[in-house]
Structure 1
């Protein structure tokens, strides 16, 4: 479905599929912080932050950083 341009969201609360660190990174990114700013706060490299975001996007069924806030909000 994703190849056809459809957004695929996992059933249930997508937040539950994230690890605590992924949730923390996703929340900060949804607030508009850059990878560098998130890394400074969490004592991680910006590259590590990017890797976490890359891995959590499919878990949330999103393809862009701009979709994070909506994906994390309770429905």
Structure 2
């Protein structure tokens, strides 16, 4: 399908391909996954997931809200969280662990949902 920007294109302008709708993208991914299976290749995870959604007309139940498993915090994240729970600032934690303060902030950002907290003040209530 071709679309033209701003109505009829002037002389020398080329039409651009319109992006497919989400429905067509799902069908395209499903066909790509089926083609990979026919040819003996390992289909991409996204293509397989899209095929499931396209065939059933609903999302994969394993990805449904509330059924998501939380991964445990990485050991480095736990070390940063322990120090933050003790009241140290990102800069102080970074100096002790030889990290950047931004890296400390990123570790905390990734650890909060894994620990079920949303604020730094809640870290002191955890048993770490």
Band of TM-score, shorter chain:
0.7 to 0.9
Residue matched to 2:96: 41
Which one has more relative contact order, counting CA pairs under 8 Å at least 6 apart?
A: 1
Larger gyration radius, structure 1 or structure 2: 2
Secondary structure of the residue that 2:87 maps to in structure 1? coil
**1:63 lines up with 2:118 in the alignment:** yes
Moved over 3 A (4+): none
Aligned residues: 59
Matched, 1:28 2:83: yes
* Residue segments in structure 1 that go unaligned for 5+ positions in a row: 1-13
Query: 1:68 & 1:42 partners in 2: Cα distance?
Result: 19
Q: TM-score, normalised by structure 2?
A: 0.43
Higher helix share: 1
Task: Name the Cα RMSD after superposition.
Answer: 1.8
> How much does 1:17 deviate?
1.0
Give the Cα–Cα distance (whole angstroms) in 1 for the partners of residues 80 and 87 of structure 2.
11
